[in-house]
Amino acid sequence: MKKTLLAVCGLILGINGLALAQANTPVIDERQANQEQRIDQGISSGQLNEREANRLNKQQEHINKMEDRAKSDGVMTKKERARIVAAQDRASRHIAREKHDRQGKRHR
């Protein structure tokens, strides 16, 4: 009985330790929120049409998945962080490009 109780307690402590070991990424999270806000602002102002917004949102979901995979082992390496930052740079350029294109505007 004592062995099973100790095993259960050890398992509980191990799970709590994994939860605390999650990689902390406040800069990545803040930038992600900023980019999502830029997309929402583009939709409300009419700078982005539905198709563009869907494409940009899908790109943000992909970056979220990359971050989740990088955090899954509790440590985010410099290489993983660099890949996520590069993906965010690419997404930022795409947002700016789509918001400032002439699509949907009438120019004569």
Q: Is pLDDT at 24 greater than 50 in this prediction?
A: yes
Residue 108, pLDDT score: 41
The answer on pLDDT for 107 being more than 50 is no
CA dist 36 and 30 (Å) reads: 10
Question: Per-residue pLDDT averaged across 14-34, rounded?
Answer: 77
pLDDT at 73: 93
Reported as a pLDDT band with limits 50, 70 and 90, residue 11 is: low
Measured CA to CA, the distance from residue 36 to residue 74 in angstroms comes to 25
Q: Mean of the pLDDT values across residues 2-31? A: 70
Convert the pLDDT of each residue in 35-90 to its tens digit. 999 999 999 999 999 999 999 999 999 999 999 999 999 999 999 999 999 999 99
